[in-house]
Chain A
Amino acid sequence: MSTLTAPGSTSFLSGKPLRFIAAGILLVNGMFPALWILFTSLKTEAELTAKPITWIPHAPTVQNYVQAFSDQPLHVFLFNSFMVALLSTALTLLVSVLAAYALARLNLTYRGLILSLIIAVSTFPLVTLLVPLFEIMRTLNLLNSWTALILPYTVLSLPVCTLMLVSFFEGIPRDLENAAMIDGCTRMGALFKVVVPLCAPGVFTAGILAFVNAWDEFLLALSFNSNPSLRTLPVGIQLYQGEFAFPWPVISAALVVGIVPVAILIVIFQERVVSGLTAGGIKG
């Protein structure tokens, strides 16, 4: 199915050696940094500072993982990241399902305008709102709370998820809903009992994107939640650095712990994530 194996071409370009090299480059490019951090996390301090540096750990140890959890409340960072990402994903999905349904199904006068507006918001640089959001959260006494992050993260993913869901909803035949309504469902009932289940893969994909967006966010989490018990993982990881010491094996262990949950998500749902990314074609 490839463009590079067009018939009649027997050049090196379509041959096995090229595929072998290409696979090597792709795998090293994608996996090596994560793998290197895994190796580092298994090294002892002594091995780490040996010269020349070793690649594969000689005497793998899990001591760094133990220390990652005991030096800092890593489980708290994980919990905060997880809850903030999960709650903002749930809120994003709820709000975007409703909005997308209105845009896909109701004959709105300003549909085009609203869609343009959503696209404009999807490119909005949230960084610029650091000052006003900081002020708002301070006034509402929300600094150092999950809510301070959940609300902006919801807005961060809202446009992408809405646009994705609009196109999914438009693919569902209207007859199915009409049938449900004739059977006594309310319109909302039809939405949540018929349309959403039929779009479950789409809703789920939108959810994964929203989750990853929230899990990755750093600047707002850094600015709003300075209390260690409310830090998310990317912010909490900085606490391992002492003023002069930089305990790389321990930091690596904490990084591995932070990478694993999302990596599992990606491994299981890779096809869905790719289709969602390329359909919504948005964040980078």
Chain B
Amino acid sequence: MATTTTFKATDIGEAPPAGWTRWLDLSDRSLAVLLLAPAAILLALIIVYPVCRLAYTSVFNLSLTSGLPAEFVGLENYRLMIDDPVFWETTWNTVLITLITVPGALLVGLGLALMANLPFAMQWPVRLSLLIPWALPLSFAGLIFAWFFHSEYGVVNDVLNRFGFEGIIWFNSPNWAFAAICLTIIWKTSSFMALIILAGLQTIPRSLYEAADVDGAGRLRQFFEITLPLLKPSIVVALIFRTITALQTFDIPYMMTGGGPGTSTSTLAMYIHQNTVSFLDLGYGSALAVVMFALSMCVTAVYLRMIRTKE
């Protein structure tokens, strides 16, 4: 390494600038290989090889509990999946969580960002109140909100009671449990949305609003014709990342309901985890993961296409 990257001061006198840059060009290739190698090795070990392995395992009957050697079964695992009601239920829950919490977090985040953009005398408490939900681990948020929604001593039911409503036994009914999970996810993820949108808001030139004022455009019209269009790029990127993480939802339902009652609030990620770690059925777990992989690759493909058209 040292021989290719050492540059002696004495070389300068002999070589004109052109030669000096040629030296750079020559070593660029080997240097690049060297610098990118650690990242490439890590990605190969943790992403590329496992992806191949995943596709491979998914066509085998590989259960660690049976003690039998892996047996090639072709698409049997996928056929089992089609007949498996729990697969459909967990996939549907995952899609539903994505469809509810992504737009939900966007709307709440937009509201929080518009509020945070007001001219406060002190900025740091506002910033901090957006950062804390982001920094809180998802699993912690799940536990904290499980306590919030506790049927006896939870603060949510306490507030409901104070307003004269009857408390809800959140985790006994599939629908209420699902609602509690979605609310928690929206709370947890909306402040990240708000931070991204806030950064976008702060780049909009004020002169645009001044011009709109002169033209007599109302506040609502300004919002829809100036603010929203200019926020679009930052919103779209945030939405795509949020969608991909929503498809992987695990921590919050795992901590809040454990998937219950029954499997009514279980997600695809939880089902993959259960098959892999609890049942040690690696073949079926892999086939499930392939489905999730396909789902999120669709979203990534949209994203990459958008980046390309932007350039």
Residues of A in contact with B (beta carbons under 8 Å apart)? 1-9, 11, 13, 18-19, 22-23, 25-27, 29-31, 33-34, 36-37, 40, 48-49, 51-53, 55, 94-96, 98-99, 101-102, 106-108, 114, 116, 119-121, 123-136, 151-152, 154-155, 158, 162, 181-188, 212, 215-216, 218-219, 222-223, 233-234, 237-238, 248, 251-252, 255, 258-259, 262-263, 265-267, 270-271, 273-274, 277-278, 281-284
B107 → A minimal CB distance (Å)? 14
- Select which of B46, B131, B153 is within 8 A of A133 by beta carbon: B46
B53 adjacent to A186 (CB under 8 Å): no
A166 → B minimal CB distance (Å)? 12
B195 adjacent to A277 (CB under 8 Å): yes
A123 adjacent to B209 (CB under 8 Å): no
Alpha-carbon distance A282/B134, docked complex (angstroms) = 12
Q: Which of B9, B189, B277 has the most CB of A within 10 A?
A: B277
- Known contacts A33-B144, A158-B43: does B38 contact A266 (CB below 8 Å)? no
- Select which of B57, B125, B140, B247 is within 8 A of A234 by beta carbon: B140
- Interface of chain A, helix or strand or loop or mixed? helix
- Select which of A1, A96, A267 is within 8 A of B119 by beta carbon: A1
Decide if B219 is an interface residue (CB 8 Å cutoff): yes
A133 adjacent to B234 (CB under 8 Å): no
Which of chain A's residues has its CB closest to B204's CB? A3
Contacts of B150 in A (CB 8 A): 248
Contacts of B204 in A (CB 8 A): 3
B54 adjacent to A132 (CB under 8 Å): yes
Alpha-carbon distance A132/B206, docked complex (angstroms) = 52
Contacts of A136 in B (CB 8 A): 45, 49-50, 53
Decide if B170 is an interface residue (CB 8 Å cutoff): no
14 CB contacts below 8 A, A to B, read: A2-B119, A30-B128, A106-B35, A123-B300, A136-B45, A152-B46, A181-B7, A218-B137, A219-B269, A233-B137, A248-B150, A255-B143, A266-B131, A270-B124
Contacts of A219 in B (CB 8 A): 250-251, 269, 273
A266 → B minimal CB distance (Å)? 5
A234 → B minimal CB distance (Å)? 4
- Known contacts A98-B39, A278-B196: does B139 contact A26 (CB below 8 Å)? no
A128 adjacent to B292 (CB under 8 Å): yes
Contacts of B38 in A (CB 8 A): 94-95, 98-99
- Select which of B127, B133, B245, B273 is within 8 A of A271 by beta carbon: B127
Alpha-carbon distance A48/B210, docked complex (angstroms) = 54
Interface set, chain B 144-159, CB cutoff 8 A to A? 144-145, 147-148, 150, 152-153, 155, 158
B53 adjacent to A26 (CB under 8 Å): no
Interface set, chain B 93-140, CB cutoff 8 A to A? 112, 114-120, 124-140
- Select which of A19, A27, A131, A152 is within 8 A of B125 by beta carbon: A27
A183 adjacent to B293 (CB under 8 Å): no
B126 adjacent to A23 (CB under 8 Å): yes
